[in-house]
Amino acid sequence: MKIVVIGTGYVGLVSGACFADFGHQVTCVDKDPKKIEMLERNEMPIWEPGLDSLVESNVKKGRLHFTTELAPALPDADAVFIAVGTPSRRGDGHADLTYVYAAVKELAETLDHPVVVVTKSTVPVGTGDEIEKILKDNGAPEGCTVASNPEFLREGAAIADFKHPDRILIGANDDSARDVLREIYRPLFLNKAPMLFTSRRTAELTKYAANAFLATKISFINEMADLCEAVGADVQDVARGIGLDNRIGPKFLHAGPGYGGSCFPKDTLALLKIAEDAGVDNQIVNAVVKVNDDRKNGMAGRVEKALGGSVDGKTVAVLGLTFKPNTDDMRDAPSIPLVNMLKEKGADVRVFDPVGMDMARPHMPEGLHWAADENDAIKGADALVIVTEWDEFRALDLDAALEAMNGNVLVDLRNIYGRAEAERAGFSYTPIGR
C-alpha cells in the first residue's frame, strides 16, 4: 500500500516509520523544513528509543521518504493519515483543530483521485463529519472516505506498542475504508492483534475515554497515597493489593507527583468540553482534573515540609524534568510547577535530566543551575528531589550523594528507594504515600 502521513511529530513519525517497516511505501509530509532536513540527516526531532535506527533502516530500503510538499507525495496514494497536533485551545480546553482542518483543506485541493483520509490525531467526536464537509467543499474527488484510527502509544515504548498493540481501533462508516485499513494493518492482524471496527464517532470518543480512564486511575491512587500518609499505611502495598484483582489491574497505579505529557492533560480537558457541549455533566473526569492540578501544585509544599517549613535560602537538587522517563517531552510535566514554585519561594534550584534539558528550558524560570549530570546537581544541595524515575536515578550511590550534599533531605516523588535503604545511608527520607 502507498501511504502518506501528514505531520512528523510524535504520532506521525512513529506511525510512518512503523508502516514502512511493515513493507508499505510511506511518505511523511511536514511544513517545517527544519524537521525534514533533520530527518533526511537521520536526526530525530523527538527522543524515542529505537526510532532513529527504524527510520534509517527503512529510508535505506527505499520505503520511507520525507518532504515538505504534499502534492508530489499524493499520486497513487491509497490512504492519507492526518497526524498533526491538536493542542488544548486557550480559554476553553477544547482541542484546537486548526492544523487538522488546514491539512484537510490543502489535501482536498491537491488530490486527483479518491483516497481514505484517516485521522490519527486525537480529535473530538464529530471531527470526521467536518472533514467530510471540508473535502467536499474544497473539490476533493468523488469517492474519498474518512476514517478514525486513534493511536494508543506510550512515549518511551511507542515502537513496541505500535507493533504489538493491545488492539487496533478503526472507526469507519463504509466498507471501502475498512478494507483499506484492514490491508494496511494486515501484518499485525496475522500476529493476532485484535482489530476492532466501530462507527467513526465511536472511535473518536473511545480514544478520549481510554485516556480519561487511565488518568482516573492515576488520580485515584494519588488520593489513596494521601490517605495512606494520614493513617499510616503503604500506598505501594495498597496498589499491589488492588492491582492483583484482574478487574482492576496493576497498571497506572503508581503514586507520584501527578500525570503530565501530551495526552492525559489535554484529552481530559477536551472530553469535558465535548461533554459540556453535549449537555452531559462528567463529574468524575472533572474531579480527576482537579485532583491532578492540586497534586502537581502541592509538590513544592512537600519539599518545604521536608526542609522544616521553608526553602528560602536552601539549595534544592531536582533530578528529572520530563513528564516520564525515556522521552524528552515536557508538556504539562510535574517538574514545571515544582521548580517554578521552589524558585518563587526563594530556593536555589539545581536541575538535571538525561535527555530533556533543552526542551525544559522554555518552561523553567531564570536563575537555575543547569547541571552537567546528576552528581553536579547534587553537589552542595540541602535537599535532593527525584521527580522522574529515569534508570540513572534508580541506582544512585546514596552514600556518595549524602557526602556531596550540605543537607540530608531526600524527597522521593516516585518511590524508587526504600525507607530503610535511604535512612541507612543517613538521609531524612520523604516518599509518597508511605
Residues 221 and 263 in one domain: yes
Read off the pLDDT of each residue in 327-347 and give the average, rounded to a whole number.
Answer: 97
Question: Looking at 18, 144, 228, 263, which residue is catalytic?
Answer: 263
Active-site residue 18, yes or no? no
Please state, in angstroms and as integers, the Cα–Cα distance from residue 341 to each residue in 86, 303, 337, 409, following that order. Answer: 28, 10, 6, 18
Residues 184 and 322 in one domain: no
Number of other CB atoms surrounding residue 329 within 10 Å: 23
Q: Over the stretch 78-103, which tens digit does the pLDDT of each residue have? A: 999 999 999 888 767 788 999 999 99
Residues 250 and 184 in one domain: no
- Whichever domain contains 177, its CATH number is 3.40.50.720
Average pLDDT, the chain: 96
Q: What is the largest CA-CA distance in the chain?
A: 73
Q: Give how many domains the chain has, as a whole number.
A: 2
Residues 172 and 224 in one domain: no
Burial class (CB in 10 A: 0-12, 13-18, 19+), 102: middle
Q: Over the stretch 132-186, which tens digit does the pLDDT of each residue have? A: 999 999 999 999 999 999 999 999 999 999 999 999 999 999 999 999 999 999 9
Final residue in a domain of this structure, among 147, 167, 198: 198
**Which among 315, 391, 320, 382 has a CA at the least distance from the CA of 351?**
320
Alpha-carbon dihedral 74, 67, 162, 100, rounded to 10 degrees: -70
Sign of CA dihedral 281, 285, 288, 293: negative
Domain of residue 386 covers 200-434
Final residue in a domain of this structure, among 150, 166, 198: 198
Q: Name which residue leads in pLDDT, 215 or 189.
A: 215
The conformation of residue 72, written as its DSSP 8-state character, comes to G
Residues 382 and 245 in one domain: yes
Residues 310 and 189 in one domain: no
What span, in angstroms and rounded, lies between the C-alpha atoms of 261 and 361?
A: 16
Q: Specify the pLDDT at position 326.
A: 95
Final residue in a domain of this structure, among 144, 175, 198: 198
Residues 149 and 217 in one domain: no
Number of other CB atoms surrounding residue 22 within 10 Å: 18
Residues 347 and 361 in one domain: yes
The answer to whether 123 touches 204, Cβ cutoff 8 Å, is yes
